[in-house]
Copies of this chain bind each other. A is one copy, B any other.
């Protein structure tokens, strides 16, 4: 076994960080690393935390980390911010709020932007979570800004999805539209001392009532992340959901969905490599000229390349 993998499995944060970078940048060792680690996965509780910018996710996360640490849990955090192509600016500012845990040997924190994750952000986040799982983290938080399809995809990686809402922010409509409401397992009304908190709680409950009977009815928890109010209750709800998953068919169902997606993603990525290579090989001046003069169309070109790829086997 690779020396780096062994060190990471021992819990060494530098080794873990290095593995994540290798996988994120699609190093040629990436699949070997993931293969070796896979057998050690399946123990962590992966918690997705999402909500509009400014909902207080980082502050809440900071408090949640402390709460889970008290229970003796080893913690990993993957902070995803797809709206920031540069890993700096907003990301750094937000992450400062988690600084209190930055030097903690039991807490591993990793930021991911759009750049540097060639295989797509949800894939990179998934593989980072798998690495943290294999390397002994008990609880893995994936934090993301809840607007847009890519964020929904990221959240789908999680065992438990926690959605933060804040009274008086119109963005909630955006989130509802993005379809995140439907995949939330725990609702958090943060900044619950603000005006409109009760109404928001009521609204979410009405929405849940409309969904009819559910095996797991998502609790709606009021928190004030700044002061830590409601955090214990939230931790308990997250653990309850984990318990529900392990005792019901839902846990198995989620695993199946996730692993199917994973295999499909690996397949698509591997094949994309073959396609790109082949396309580079046959894309010359003449072909571009033929395309630009409409003597040939892109569909016919693609058809020929596909024929070539599949006849070489």
A contact residues vs B (CB 8 Å cutoff): 31, 34-35, 38-42, 82-86, 89, 114, 147-150, 174, 177-179, 252, 255-256, 259-260, 262-264, 266-268, 270-272, 275-276, 279, 283, 288, 291-292, 294, 297-302, 305-306, 309-313
Number of copies of this chain that the complex holds: 2
B83 touching A299, Cβ below 8 Å = no
B266 touching A298, Cβ below 8 Å = yes
Q: 10 A–B contact pairs at CB < 8 A? A: A35-B300, A39-B297, A83-B177, A114-B149, A149-B150, A260-B283, A263-B283, A263-B302, A263-B305, A264-B275
A264 touching B252, Cβ below 8 Å = no
Q: How far is the CA of A272 from the CA of B271 in the complex (A)?
A: 8
Among candidates B270, B272, B299, residue contacting A38 with C-beta atoms closer than 8 Å: B299
Q: Which residues of B contact A312 (CB under 8 A)?
A: 310, 313
Q: How far is the CB of A226 from chain B (nearest CB, A)?
A: 23
- Residues A267 and B39 in contact in the complex (CB < 8 Å), given A31-B299, A313-B313: no
A148 touching B39, Cβ below 8 Å = no
Among candidates B42, B259, B288, residue contacting A259 with C-beta atoms closer than 8 Å: B288
A178, closest chain B residue (CB): B85
Q: How far is the CB of A279 from chain B (nearest CB, A)?
A: 6
- Residues A85 and B266 in contact in the complex (CB < 8 Å), given A31-B299, A299-B31, A313-B311: no
Q: How far is the CA of A85 from the CA of B114 in the complex (A)?
A: 21
Q: How far is the CA of A300 from the CA of B263 in the complex (A)?
A: 9
- Residues A252 and B292 in contact in the complex (CB < 8 Å), given A267-B302, A298-B262, A306-B267: yes
Which of A149, A283, A300: most chain B CB closer than 10 A? A149
Q: How far is the CB of A152 from chain B (nearest CB, A)?
A: 9
- Residues A294 and B41 in contact in the complex (CB < 8 Å), given A283-B263, A299-B266: yes
Q: Which residues of B contact A263 (CB under 8 A)?
A: 279, 283, 298, 301-302, 305
Q: How far is the CB of A224 from chain B (nearest CB, A)?
A: 26
Q: Which residues of B contact A256 (CB under 8 A)?
A: 288, 292
B266 touching A302, Cβ below 8 Å = yes
A35 touching B148, Cβ below 8 Å = no
Q: How far is the CB of A280 from chain B (nearest CB, A)?
A: 9
Q: How far is the CB of A80 from chain B (nearest CB, A)?
A: 13
A271 touching B275, Cβ below 8 Å = yes
